[in-house]
Amino acid sequence: MTLLERLTAINAASPFSRWAGFTPTLAEAGRAEIELTTRPDLANHAGHLHAGVTQGLVDTVCGYAAATVAGPVVTSHCAVDFYAPATGGRFVARGRVVKAGRRQVFTTAEIFAVSETGEVLVAGGSAVLVPLAPAPTEG
């Protein structure tokens, strides 16, 4: 089973991620990507992607990036900066492990709106994940 197949299976087992349409599209050691094609019911009152969905993307892609190096994790802390309205029909979330310790994995993520003319950075954030089964070595 590849890392991407493993994340895809985890994602399929999460009802909210499945309902929202989160789709893992990349997984390598310390990195993960999720794509999302938006729908009317993911919107806020202004028609943009709801901040809860944006935060869910940050948290989820950070967790997936952490899982590629640390196995099962739970989120301890997640913070998101909203740079621009999340408009448009497609989004990609890119997560990355900054530092993987035995007891904590530090990650960051960026959320881009994707269109034919390119990508626009709409949000960024960071998350601290705690491995469920700490590795035996230092960290």
Would you tell me which residues interact with a copy of itself (CB under 8 A)?
A: 10, 13-20, 40-45, 50-53, 55-57, 59-60, 63, 74-85, 98-99, 101, 103-104, 106, 108, 121, 124, 126, 128, 130
Instruction: Quote the least distance from Cβ 10 to a copy of itself, whole Å.
Output: 6
Instruction: Quote the least distance from Cβ 32 to a copy of itself, whole Å.
Output: 15
Dihedral over Cα of 69, 72, 77, 83: its sign? positive
The residue (of 26 and 63) whose beta carbon lies closer to a copy of itself is 63
The residue (of 29 and 84) whose beta carbon lies closer to a copy of itself is 84
Instruction: Quote the least distance from Cβ 16 to a copy of itself, whole Å.
Output: 4
Strand partners, 36: 91
Closest CA to 21 of 11, 29, 30, 31: 11
